[in-house]
């Protein structure tokens, strides 16, 4: 998912003594492979992950590690394992999250099986560093998202981001990681931007996988940036792993008018974020999800109501394996024209 | 006082409430699913919602001005027994889309829900507890009878079929027109929702949906005893898309996967059922 393969690879590289193959970047071939062997109306992340797994196995991997919990994600691994076994692959698949909870004892056993020399102290130490790494990455990402549309020299943000991630994966303790983070944050601030004071602002909400894997939303954020729009996105790995329940409690508290019960996955957070974006006077909201995402479909009418109460335009994108990219672009352009006209 | 119960989704898992209301002499208003209700549901729901949810919303819409309260609970259990994510948004959807008075509960402990609703309707706790006890006894007695009847079908000499599906699909009057087609061929139909969830882990270890467990364990239990299996799903059901696929990959019986989107034309389904019945006949 996005750049998050770097901290994951870092973690496993440090704690177990085996060769780590990261999943290859997603291409249209991946999706084709995934869709071919998936059930008909499963949500799209299933197809993407299945495609990636097939490619990884073809490259010679024999242990697959997956993180999945909540709504349908938690059940992915069992079916994917069956499908891959039917295809004739020989491998081990480990899902580190069961029934929506992380079971430390189970993870320890799995790690022991992968590498006999695995030590829990070393594991926890590097887990802590990785946790911080993800946190810093998300903070930098947030800054990039707000400013990338206004860079003077093209690709300056992306190049620096690449450089930063490269140096991140070489650190050995959390202090040097922190120093690196500060150093690069300063560098990012030095990048020349040409940002008008009242630029258009758009919030992006929706289902987590489609939001975080840029290929699955056809680089929607890149497209938005080319219109010179400031982008706000809440969903990131830091939120998913450490702030999820806290945000939901806050959401239930702050948007009582629209919501009484906790909805599954990120649905209740999305209602809250919609309200937040409306109150902060954003120019528009973009809601993206993969097709057949049940929690988001169930909450869309509520989000619609919030947005219309505040009179903020909202557009829904539903991504499938064979959505046409041109169609998305056209709709996005029309949406941009509309919010620009509203400004005047 | 009239309480409306939308006959969809949660209704089939809250049968005890019917006995409870009867015991307290409260009038309940329930309609069978009809074409009109489905159209109403289509009107207010999102196009991507599953057919079962559309039917449910249609029921709520239909009940809007026909009763004082509508009962829409948020059923939830522990994290190893989850419900489909639609169940948790039922109340909020109805509340935001329509202007109705809703009775609702969401406790893990059953009796607390009965006390809460009973008190909201103005009954004393003594009366509520008594009604609850009687309702439980009557409900259990009825359920036991149905279960025995269902299992006894396995011993008949006719060709037997296991119908796998969620209660809100296979018990729905309108959707089960499809099941009536099966009955034409002299097949004994065994319902999956009347089984306990004891055996599911033989086929699926990770399964965490409460009512899918019943379906899967019914397959495990009946695998050797029936001649064929029919999977009955509405489009696009999130749970069945994964669970049924896994089950289909692991069994070696003839099976038929029926996915119902709209019942406008039955001709296509009829042909498939006919050829399936032929296969069963020949085996």
Residue ranges covered by each domain of chain A: 17-117, 126-195, 196-344
Nearest 5°: the CA angle B244, B247, B253 is: 115
Give residue A102's pLDDT. 62
Residues of A in contact with B206 (CB under 8 A): 74-75, 77-78, 95, 98-99
Tens digits of residue pLDDT in A258-289:
888 888 778 888 999 999 999 998 999 999 88
Return all residues near A187 (Cβ < 8 A) that are at least 6 apart: A160
The minimum CA-CA distance between A103 and chain B, rounded to whole Å, is: 14
Nearest 5°: the CA angle A298, B239, B277 is: 125
Residues of B in contact with A265 (CB under 8 A): 85
Mean pLDDT of the A76-91 span: 88
Measured CA to CA, the distance from residue B105 to residue B217 in angstroms comes to 29
* CA distance from start to end of chain A: 38
Give residue A143's pLDDT. 87
Helix (H, G, I), strand (E, B) or coil at A310: helix
Pick from B63, B126, B129: nearest CA to B100: B63
Residues of B in contact with A74 (CB under 8 A): 206, 208
* CA distance from start to end of chain B: 56
Residues facing A201 on adjacent strands: A230
Residues of A in contact with B48 (CB under 8 A): 291-292, 297, 300, 318
Q: Is the dihedral of CA A302, B90, B180, B214 positive or negative?
A: positive
Contact status, residue B44 vs residue B61, Cβ threshold 8 Å: yes
Per-residue pLDDT of chain B (283 residues; tens, 9 = 90+): 889 999 988 899 988 999 999 988 989 999 999 889 999 989 888 888 888 999 999 999 999 888 889 999 988 888 788 888 888 888 988 988 888 889 898 888 888 888 898 898 888 889 999 999 999 999 999 999 999 999 898 888 888 899 999 999 988 888 888 888 888 888 889 999 898 888 888 888 888 888 889 899 999 998 888 889 999 998 888 888 889 989 998 888 899 998 888 767 788 888 999 999 998 888 7
Res A80 pLDDT > 80: yes
Of the partner residues B88, B236, B259, the one whose CB lies closest to the CB of residue A264: B88
Give residue A69's pLDDT. 64
Q: What average pLDDT is seen over chain A? A: 83
A94 to chain B: nearest residue by CA? B206
Res A98 pLDDT > 70: no
| Third-level CATH fold of A196-344 | Rossmann fold (3.40.50)
Give residue A117's pLDDT. 77
Interface test with A, best of B242, B248, B249 (most A CBs within 10 A): B242
The minimum CA-CA distance between B158 and chain A, rounded to whole Å, is: 33
Q: How many residues does chain A have?
A: 344
Measured CA to CA, the distance from residue A290 to residue A80 in angstroms comes to 18
Residue whose token pair is 């909202």:
A314
Give residue A75's pLDDT. 82
Give per-residue burial for A268-307: e unless 16+ CB within 10 Å, then b: bbbbbbbbbbbeeebbbbbbbbbbbbbbbbbbbbbbbbbb
Give residue B138's pLDDT. 94
Res A177 pLDDT > 90: no
The minimum CA-CA distance between B96 and chain A, rounded to whole Å, is: 6
Tens digits of residue pLDDT in A31-65:
888 888 888 788 888 888 888 888 888 888 888 87
Q: What percentage of chain A exceeds 90 in pLDDT?
A: 9
Of the partner residues B235, B245, B259, the one whose CB lies closest to the CB of residue A79: B245
Give residue A319's pLDDT. 83
B48 to chain A: nearest residue by CA? A297
Pick from A53, A63, A60: nearest CA to A12: A63
Contact status, residue B231 vs residue B258, Cβ threshold 8 Å: yes
With bands split at pLDDT 50, 70 and 90, how would you rate the model's confidence at A2? low
ipTM value > 0.90: no
A71 to chain B: nearest residue by CA? B85
Res A138 pLDDT > 90: no
Give residue B145's pLDDT. 95
Res A100 pLDDT > 60: no
The CA-based dihedral angle spanning residues A100, A238, A264, B92, taken in that order and rounded to the nearest 10 degrees: 160
DSSP conformation letters of chain B? -EEE--SSGGGGG-THHHHHHHHTT-EEE-----HHHHHHHHHHS-TTS-HHHHHHHHHHHHHTTT-SEEE-------TTSBPPHHHHHHHHHHHHHS---EE----SSHHHHHHHHHHHTT--HHHHHHHHHHHHHHHHHHHHHHHHHHHHGGGSSS-EEEEE--HHHHS-TTTTHHHHHHHTTTPEEEEGGGS-SSSGGGT-SS--BHHHHHHHHHHHHHTTT-SEEEEEEETT-HHHHHHHHHHHHH--S-EEEEEES--S--HHHHHHHHHHHHHHHH-
Query: Which domains are present in chain B?
Result: 2-144 (3.40.50), 156-282 (3.40.50.360)
Pick from B76, B47, B72, B46: nearest CA to B60: B72
The minimum CA-CA distance between A338 and chain B, rounded to whole Å, is: 24
With bands split at pLDDT 50, 70 and 90, how would you rate the model's confidence at A297? confident
CB contact under 8 A, A263 and B92: yes
């Amino acid at each position: 998912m996005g750049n998050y393969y770097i901290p994951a690879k870092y973690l496993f590289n440090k704690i177990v003594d085996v060769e780590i193959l990261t999943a290859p970047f997603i291409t249209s071939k991946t999706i084709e492979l995934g869709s071919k062997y998936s059930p008909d109306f499963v949500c799209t992340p299933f197809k993407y992950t299945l495609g990636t797994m097939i490619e990884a196995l073809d490259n010679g991997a024999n242990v697959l590690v997956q993180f999945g919990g909540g709504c349908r994600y938690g059940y992915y691994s069992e079916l994917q394992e069956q499908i891959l076994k039917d295809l004739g692959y020989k491998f081990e698949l480990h899902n580190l999250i069961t029934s929506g909870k992380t079971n430390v004892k189970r993870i320890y056993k799995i790690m022991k099986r992968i590498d006999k020399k695995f030590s829990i102290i070393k594991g926890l130490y590097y887990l802590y560093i990785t946790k911080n790494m993800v946190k810093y990455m998300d903070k930098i990402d947030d800054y990039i998202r707000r400013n990338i549309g206004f860079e003077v020299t093209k690709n300056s943000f992306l190049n620096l981001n690449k450089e930063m991630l490269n140096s991140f994966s070489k650190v050995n303790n959390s202090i040097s990681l922190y120093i690196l983070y500060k150093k690069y944050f300063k560098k990012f601030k030095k990048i020349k931007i040409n940002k008008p004071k009242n630029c258009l602002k758009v919030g992006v909400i929706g289902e987590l996988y489609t939001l975080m894997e840029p290929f699955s939303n056809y680089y929607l954020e890149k497209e938005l940036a080319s219109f010179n729009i400031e982008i706000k996105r809440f969903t990131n790995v830091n939120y998913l792993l450490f702030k999820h329940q806290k945000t939901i409690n806050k959401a239930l508290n702050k948007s009582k008018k629209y919501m009484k019960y906790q909805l599954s996955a990120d649905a209740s957070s999305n209602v809250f974020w919609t309200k937040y974006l409306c109150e902060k006077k954003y120019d528009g909201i973009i809601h993206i999800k993969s097709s057949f995402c049940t929690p988001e479909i169930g909450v869309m009418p509520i989000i619609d109501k919030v947005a219309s109460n505040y009179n903020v335009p909202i557009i829904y994108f539903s991504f499938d394996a064979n959505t046409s990219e041109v169609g998305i672009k056209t709709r996005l352009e029309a949406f941009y024209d509309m919010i620009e006209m509203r400004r005047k | 006082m009239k309480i409306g119960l939308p006959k969809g989704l949660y209704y089939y898992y809250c049968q005890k409430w019917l006995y409870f209301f009867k015991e307290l002499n409260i009038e309940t208003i329930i309609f069978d699913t009809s074409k009109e209700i489905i159209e109403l549901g289509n009107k207010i729901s999102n196009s991507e919602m599953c057919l079962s949810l559309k039917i449910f919303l249609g029921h709520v819409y239909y009940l809007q001005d026909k009763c004082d309260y509508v009962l829409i609970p948020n059923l939830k259990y522990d994290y190893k027994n989850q419900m489909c994510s639609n169940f948790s948004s039922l109340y909020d959807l109805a509340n935001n889309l329509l202007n109705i008075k809703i009775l609702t509960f969401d406790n893990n402990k059953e009796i607390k829900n009965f006390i809460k609703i009973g008190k909201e309707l103005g009954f004393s706790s003594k009366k509520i507890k008594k009604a609850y006890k009687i309702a439980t006894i009557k409900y259990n007695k009825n359920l036991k009878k149905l279960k025995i009847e269902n299992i006894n079908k396995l011993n008949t000499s006719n060709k037997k079929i296991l119908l796998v599906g969620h209660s809100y699909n296979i018990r729905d009057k309108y959707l089960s027109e499809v099941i009536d087609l099966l009955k034409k061929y002299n097949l004994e139909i065994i319902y999956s929702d009347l089984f306990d969830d004891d055996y599911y882990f033989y086929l699926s270890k990770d399964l965490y949906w409460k009512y899918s467990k019943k379906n899967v364990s019914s397959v495990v239990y009946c695998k050797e005893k029936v001649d064929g299996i029919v999977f009955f799903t509405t489009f696009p059901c999130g749970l069945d898309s994964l669970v049924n696929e896994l089950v289909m990959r692991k069994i070696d019986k003839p099976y038929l996967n029926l996915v119902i989107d709209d019942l406008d034309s039955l001709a296509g389904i009829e042909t498939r059922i006919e050829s399936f019945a032929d296969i069963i006949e020949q085996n």
